[in-house]
Structure 1
């Protein structure tokens, strides 16, 4: 394996090498696209080994690296040769190892690790010159070989966001992370470097590269997802020409998650990226961005696993409302559409998000949705789950919401009064009883005549319901009595009165 690894070192050009450099092996071309598997290192046959030996000559111009020894430190070569040495060291790192066995290829792994550390230091302290085009190509190729991979099946089978019931399980950590971290750090330093010309680099950091980078967000390792989030932030800021494509690609990932799989590990990180993107939207908002709110962000409230990414989702939604306040009524209608009826913890989260929206909503938008909104809040107030009921009643601790309710009390109080009365007389939880008493007192002090009118109307409705219930019970008693007098014949069913 050491011989194979050192075969990556560029050799002095010969006639044979020059001939070989004109042919790019199909296997090596596949590796350039980033679709290789890291477990291939050390297990290829003779044909693959030959391809690896010629990979540096095939991908990089022989004349630029033929006299450069990759293991030589940067400080030992003149400035004119540092860029060539940089390319050579990147080529040296284009060998993938199997990190599941810590005792395998120890020497080669250490050489590669030290080379990556040296490359990170070089990029961090690079001067005012620009990175050459072969250097950009070499960086993309090295990152593709080391980072781009298909996750094993167990990553998806035990997906952290798959069912929403195992959110407290320990995440799976990639054994290759100490190696991957250096590659990610090098990529981040390279993209953020002022010496990288975006106009030249966009040809290599293309749509294919970005798409494969986004696929890595499904990694189970939270450290990898965090690095990817930072890198994607920088890619979005550096390459303006790719911004529409990045937004579109992330949208498709959200669509697939909501409407097909409901399984993805990186939804929270992707939403965090979009939170920064939304904050930079210019006003007035484009129709494309409003469609994203309605077709992506609001349906993301539907999956049972919403709790994993709720904070990031709520932040994105409030960013839209701060940009354009008239979107508040659209968002509230969307929340009511996807309101969780049988998932109490999600109801609590929805109520928390509603409070954030109501804190910024104006009176006109509030009046458009207050009837269906407070009908739903009334249902939550009378919920037998004390956390749901308690969270709904906490809305009256917010001064802005109380002010909105006070100006529209003629409409709101008749809607929620039945829930207040039922809680006050029959709820089992002492904290809910206390909060209900405070809300009733607040409404009574706000408009006593309206309060008394609602109570009178509630009593009339209760009396009418009791009367109808008694009539139904009496009708059933008569039917039972009539059925008991009729003699049983053949297979006729017999009504047996309870003892």
Structure 2
């Protein structure tokens, strides 16, 4: 749900705001004892917002921008973040960043590639960037006591921050990512609410909207969070993986956040190797049937996961896994076939395959022989013969048996095809004789 728009001040109020900024002296010109109160007044003045879609109130906008720059410069002072000032700081930040995001035509976006779309840059960024920089310095400051700040920087504030991750402007999402990550690290009581809020954002992506701009940034935050999970993993963390993260593989625009999602999957497997079976089984279940570019992404992720998979988990999933790999080897799209054959460049995966060669060689060798006869790409042919050579060297006797079995099956298939063609010819003759 997007936030309601906040109208900018009219000409009269804009003039008052300009005068208010001008009436406040510079912080550096005041006595040290007077600066905290002046700092408060400037924070309150900066709560005034403007409509950056119009060219009006330019003097007031510039006066506010200069005041914001002054506030950022002042935050290096120990007095900047006194406990009594924290409510005013949070109020000023919220007044500026919580706003109506630029509307999107979701119908148009759903039919296009988001990577090819020019992002809608935020018109208010000259002000927003300074506010975000100020907020970041506030969050990371050692002078801020989390126990005091959590009264104002509460769950409601975090929920509204999460809404802003749908911003079209990647600069804003980058600041939000840094700030939310720092908040997670510093405010212990907010950790569980942040995880729940991110989970709800992913549910929104899965069940409400085709496109959500901040998925990649939220996954980056989750990657760091998962890396810090204590062992053994809690059931709520595994539930988060199964219910919110793994289903993101179904999304049409997986390419825009796949790298971050794949990293999260790898982090979970590193924490608990038994999860390799859960994740790879889900990949096979969600495997794209027609989108070859998405198949290549799945194959990239599959290799990363197999590198972390222990033999017991590999044995559990090797049957359906290599049925899928065999299909990919024979895929007419050369990128899918190439990427699949590149799996044999990975020594660890080759050892896993070799350890289960009696079950896997027949499936793989049959697909490779089929490829060598029917695939159109010379590059795929070269890789196919390289893999055949590796398999032959790994177990010559088993290789010969599988080759002989494939030859018999192929000859039987050809014989059945001849019979089928003869039957069709007979049926055509009968049909021709019955025609008047």
State the TM-score, normalized to the length of structure 1. Answer: 0.82
Match of 1:98 in 2: 51
Instruction: Confirm whether residue 485 of structure 1 aligns to residue 436 of structure 2.
Output: no
| 1:137-176 to 2 correspondences below 5 Å | 137-154=87-104, 156=106, 159=109, 162-163=110-111, 165-176=113-124
Establish whether residue 333 from structure 1 lines up as the match of residue 281 from structure 2: yes
Partner of 1:10: none
Counterpart-to-counterpart distance in 2, 1:180 and 1:37: 16
Instruction: Give the unaligned 5+ runs of structure 2.
Output: none
Aligned to 1:37: 5
The 5-angstrom pairing of residues 213-292 of structure 1 reads: 213-292=161-240
Structure index of larger Rg: 1
* Structure 1, unpaired ranges of 5+: 1-33, 57-67, 489-499
Equivalent residue for 1:308?
Answer: 256
Match of residue 497 from structure 1: none
- Within 5 A, what are the aligned runs for 1:59-98? 71-98=24-51
Q: Are the aligned partners of 2:177 and 2:218 in contact in 1 as well (CA < 8 Å)? A: yes
Q: Which is worse superposed, 445-454 or 164-173? A: 164-173
Q: Cα RMSD over matched residues?
A: 2.2
CA 1:297–1:91: 2 relative to 1, 3 Å: same
Identify which of 111, 115, 125 aligns with 2:77.
Answer: 125
Q: Distance in 2 between matches of 1:35 and 1:484?
A: 73
Judging changes above 3 Å, is the alpha-carbon distance between structure 1 residues 487 and 392 closer, same or farther for their aligned structure 2 residues? closer
Do 2:329 and 2:336's aligned partners in 1 also have CA atoms closer than 8 Å?
Answer: yes
Q: 1:216 aligns to what SS in structure 2?
A: helix
Q: Equivalents in 1 of 2:336, 2:399: separation in Å?
A: 24
C-alpha distance in 2 between matches for 1:93 and 1:359: 53
Please state how far the C-alpha of 1:430 moved relative to its aligned partner. 0.9
What is the DSSP-based 3-state SS (H/G/I as helix, E as strand, rest coil) of the residue aligned with 1:154?
A: coil
| Cα separation, partners in 2 of 1:333 and 1:292, compared to 1, 3 Å | same
Count residues with an aligned counterpart.
432
C-alpha separation in 2, matches of 1:476 and 1:406: 44
Q: 1:110 aligns with which of 59, 62, 69?
A: 62
Partner of 1:380: 328
User: Could you list the per-position Cα deviations for residues 116-145 of structure 1 after superposition, in whole angstroms to 9, with x for gaps in the alignment?
Assistant: 111111112325x86233x21111211122
The CA distance in 2 between the partners of 1:164 and 1:41, in whole Å, is 34
SS of the residue aligned with 1:96? coil
Q: Residue 261 of structure 1: SS of its match in structure 2?
A: coil
Could you report, residue by residue, the CA deviation over 1:24-45 in whole angstroms, capped at 9, with x for unpaired residues?
xxxxxxxxxx95635x12339x
Kindly state the Cα deviation for residue 73 of structure 1 after the two structures are TM-superposed: 1.9
Q: Distance in 1 between matches of 2:232 and 2:49?
A: 48
* 1:71 CA drift (Å): 1.8
Alpha-carbon separation, structure 2, partners of 1:331 and 1:75: 57
Quick one: structure 1 residues 156 and 82, their matched pair in 2 at CA, closer, same or farther if it must change by over 3 Å?
A: farther
Q: Using the TM superposition, give the Cα deviation of residue 334 of structure 1 relative to its aligned residue in structure 2, in angstroms.
A: 0.7
Structure 2 CA distance, aligned partners of 1:362 and 1:434? 30
Deviations 1:140-160 (A, max 9, x none): 21112211112232365654x
SS of corresponding position for 1:428? coil
SS of corresponding position for 1:152: coil
How many Å separate the matches in 2 of 1:341 and 1:69? 64
Q: Equivalents in 1 of 2:108, 2:430: separation in Å?
A: 61
Output one character per residue of 1:363-405: Cα deviation in whole Å (capped at 9) or x when no partner.
1111111111111111101111000000000000111111111
Q: Structure 2 vs 1, CA of residues 156 and 86 (structure 1 numbering), >3 Å: closer, same or farther?
A: farther
Q: Measure, in 2, the Cα distance between the counterparts of 1:192 and 1:455.
A: 64
The residue number in structure 2 matching 1:496 is none
Distance 1:35 1:339, change over 3 A: closer
- The corresponding residue for 1:441 is 389
Counterpart check, 1:180 vs 2:128: yes
1:487 CA drift (Å): 5.2
- Distance, in Å, in 2 between the alignment partners of 1:418 and 1:425 is 11
